[in-house]
Structure 1
Amino acid sequence: MANKTRIVLVDDEEILLTVITKKLSEQFEAISFINPIMALEYIRENHNQVDILLTDYKMPVLDGIELILTVEKINPAIKKVLLTAYSDMLTKNTKIPRCDLLLEKSILQSLDELVNMISTLIE
């Protein structure tokens, strides 16, 4: 049996994180963290087993962009997905360094769409 794709999810909104993790766990191995520092420690220790980082943009202590840039140094092969509630980041065609996918949090209204987008990222 092939190993499931392992996704590390990071968001400081616990309810949202729980909902996303539950949905992604139907198809992937989803590991969630409220604290980005704890997620970073996990990725450092397991960098060869993590396939995708899905992180919120705005978080205390360490924002999503800082997290993505740090993970890029640890293992550039990890795909990086940034979720943002700030739609102006998308309308301005903001380029986030080292980010494979930039999504507005409104996509979470259709969790199936999120699963589809992540699936295409790993193909």
Structure 2
Amino acid sequence: MTLQALIVEDSPPIAERLVEMLSIPGRVEVAATAATEKEAIAACGGRVFDLAIVDLQLAQGTGFGVIRRLRADAGKHTCIIVLTNHAVPALRMASYEAGADHFLDKSKDVPVVTRVVDDLLAARN
């Protein structure tokens, strides 16, 4: 079963890097990308993603609204990873309170994303 992923990131180079990193034929498909909270919420309409990577600081809006929407739509089905440049304790706590499963720092934790995906894939098999 192929994991369906959503990437919410307003930096085109970072979004492209995440798409390249996550796209594994037959295992992970990046089904949607968004640069704003509004685009991400629109992408959620009627869809349930297995994985969502969400930046907190977006061109418009924040990742918190996206996280809450994903939780409202999918419950615990979606694994939500916050990937941010602003890895401070207050934002970590707010992310978990909104429904995130993981809180990662863009400057040092990007490899952890791959490990989380590997764990998700292993759990599905």
TM-score by length of 2: 0.78
Aligned residue in 2 for 1:81: 81
Describe the SS at the equivalent of 1:7: strand
Once the 2 structures are TM-superposed, how far is the Cα of residue 85 of structure 1 from its aligned partner? 0.7
Moved over 4 A (4+): none
Aligned residue in 2 for 1:100: 101
Q: Which residue of the other structure, out of 5, 20, 23, is the alignment partner of 1:22?
A: 20
Q: 8 Å contact 2:85–2:105 — kept in the other structure?
A: yes
Instruction: Write the distance in 1 (CA, Å) between the matches of 2:117 and 2:103.
Output: 11
Aligned residue in 2 for 1:53: 52
Q: CA RMSD in A?
A: 2.2
Aligned residue in 2 for 1:34: 35
5+ residue gaps, structure 2: none
Instruction: Write the distance in 1 (CA, Å) between the matches of 2:56 and 2:82.
Output: 6
Once the 2 structures are TM-superposed, how far is the Cα of residue 68 of structure 1 from its aligned partner? 0.2
Describe the SS at the equivalent of 2:60: coil
Letter in 1 for 2:87: S
Letter in 2 for 1:102: F
Aligned length: 115
5+ residue gaps, structure 1: none
Instruction: Write the distance in 2 (CA, Å) between the matches of 1:56 and 1:32.
Output: 12
- Structure 1 residue 8 and structure 2 residue 6: aligned? yes
TM-score by length of 1: 0.79
